[in-house]
Amino acid sequence: MIGTLEVSEIGIGCMGFSHGYGKIPAESYSIDAIRKAYEAGCTFFDTAEVYGDVLFYPGHNERLVGKAVKDFRKDIVLATKLHLHSEEISSKTSVYEALCRHLKRSMENLETDYVDLYYLHRVNLEIPLEDVAYAMGRLICEGAIRAWGLSQVNVDTLAKAHAITPVAAVQNIYSMLERDCEKEIFPYCLEHNIGVVPFSPIASGFLSGKINTETQFEAVDDVRNFVPQLKKENIKANQPVLDILAEYAGRKHVSCAQIALSWILHKYPNAVPIPGSKNKERILENLNATNVKLSDEEFQALEAALNSCTIFGHRGNVETEQSNFRMEWKNIKGDLERNNI
Ligand SMILES: NC(=O)c1ccc[n+]([C@@H]2O[C@H](COP(=O)([O-])OP(=O)(O)OC[C@H]3O[C@@H](n4cnc5c(N)ncnc54)[C@H](OP(=O)(O)O)[C@@H]3O)[C@@H](O)[C@H]2O)c1
């Protein structure tokens, strides 16, 4: 459960079909992959209005997802996200009106007349969060959305928003390599019946064990060129985590990615990870992680082993419209291009 929304134990992140991991598959392949995920029991699909803006146009991913799920739309939880920019709000346009515009566009793209879970993709420090929370509450009352959420926030921001309109889900980065959420976010969410939706739960592929220092990422629109843990020196330094994963995977005859996901599921009853993949087989492999059960003893030993590792490369789970990873990524990219690196 995510708040009051019933979802499969694992969802799928659909971003890679439009953005962030280099070249995308043919549309028919992506649509089939999403449908196969549903047939395999997945009822939680994650997208965002912005996915697709680098290679195509904003809304590219929402359109793809909308097409893929139209025959079973009512049976699933569809989550999308909006960015609210400061210049959108003026004496003539309220936060509620701006939100309505974004939502209308997303619903058109998704071929639906309601969104189950609507996230603010990043908090904008120039727009009062209280106004956003209030506007989301209005949209819930009107039946346009069923629930709302926040992404990349700390607990103080979450509590402020939750006090105005109960938040159903927090979508923060969380994996064996990015564990900041354990300190405050998970305890707060457990106490307040809020779901946590870990994004990048496979650490952008690292925890699958399929990436090494020789792996060449793609030249265009590939976030892996900028993910801190995927710098060559950090891939090397984080190898002990992979060794632990490989040991468990071997012992249980499953994949490393499945252990990485089952660890999250075992650890937190309110976590619903959304691994992303452009590959049909891997999508099914990831969904199948629900069948990989760790005994309490196995989990404790795994946890102790992970706790003994120092993690290299850190992104963290607090970002805003004014300061975020995407921006850093664009800056680094700019520097590389300017210096011909
Ligand atoms: N809220 C936010 O700000 C935010 C930010 C980023 C992402 N997200 C959401 O979270 C979702 C997941 O995050 P993510 O895609 O960044 O990270 P992820 O799920 O940790 O990793 C995706 C990468 O791992 C590879 N992979 C996935 N499963 C695999 C497996 N079983 N074996 C080998 N490789 C595997 C994928 O490659 P292949 O495609 O080749 O399989 C891809 O390169 C996204 O789709 C998006 O919906 C949200």
pLDDT tens, residue order, the chain (341 aa): 898 899 999 999 999 999 999 999 999 999 999 999 999 999 999 999 999 999 999 999 999 999 999 999 999 999 999 999 999 999 999 999 999 999 999 999 999 999 999 999 999 999 999 999 999 999 999 999 999 999 999 999 999 999 999 999 999 999 999 999 999 999 999 999 999 999 999 999 999 999 999 999 999 999 999 999 999 999 999 999 999 999 999 999 999 999 999 999 999 999 999 999 999 999 999 999 999 999 999 999 999 999 999 999 999 999 999 988 877 666 555 555 544 44
Closest to 196 measured CA to CA, from 115, 283, 269: 269
**120: its two tokens:** 């603010």
Query: Rounded to 5 degrees, what are φ and ψ at 33?
Result: -65, -40
Tell me, in angstroms, the distance from the centre of ligand 1 to residue 276's CA.
3
Sign of the alpha-carbon torsion through 12, 20, 51, 124: positive
Check if the beta carbon of residue 48 is closer than 8 Å to that of residue 84.
Answer: no
Query: Measured between alpha carbons, how far is residue 95 from residues 106, 125, 127, 129, 163 in Å?
Result: 17, 13, 8, 10, 18
- Give residue 56 CA to ligand 1 midpoint distance, Å: 19
Question: Rounded to an integer, what distance in angstroms lies between the CA atom of residue 3 and that of residue 166?
Answer: 9
- To test ligand 1's pocket by mutation, which of 216, 226, 282 has the most ligand atoms within 8 angstroms of CB? 282
Compute, in angstroms, the gap from residue 135 CA to the centroid of ligand 1: 30
- Strand locations in the chain, DSSP E? 12-13, 44-46, 77-82, 115-120, 145-151, 169-171, 195-196
Confirm whether 174 is a catalytic residue: no
Q: pLDDT value at position 323?
A: 85
Catalytic residue among 21, 29, 38, 51: 51
Distance 144 CA to ligand 1 centre (A): 28
Atom 36, ligand 1: residue with shortest CA distance: 277
Beta strand pairing status for 169-171 and 44-46?
A: unpaired
Q: Tell me how far the alpha carbon of residue 277 lies from the centroid of ligand 1, in angstroms.
A: 5
- Which residue puts its alpha carbon closest to atom 24 of ligand 1? 205
Residue list, ligand 1 pocket, CB within 6 Å = 13-16, 21, 46, 151-152, 171, 199-205, 208, 210, 255, 257, 274-279, 282, 285-286
For ligand 1, mutation pick of 200, 215, 242 (most atoms within 8 Å of CB): 200
| Helix 60-69 and helix 95-110, axial crossing angle in degrees, nearest 10 | 50
User: What is residue 326's predicted lDDT score, i.e. its pLDDT?
Assistant: 74
Contacts of 202 (CB under 8 A, 6+ apart): 175, 208, 257, 260, 261, 275, 286
Q: Which one, of 317, 326, 322, lies nearest residue 123 by Cα? A: 322
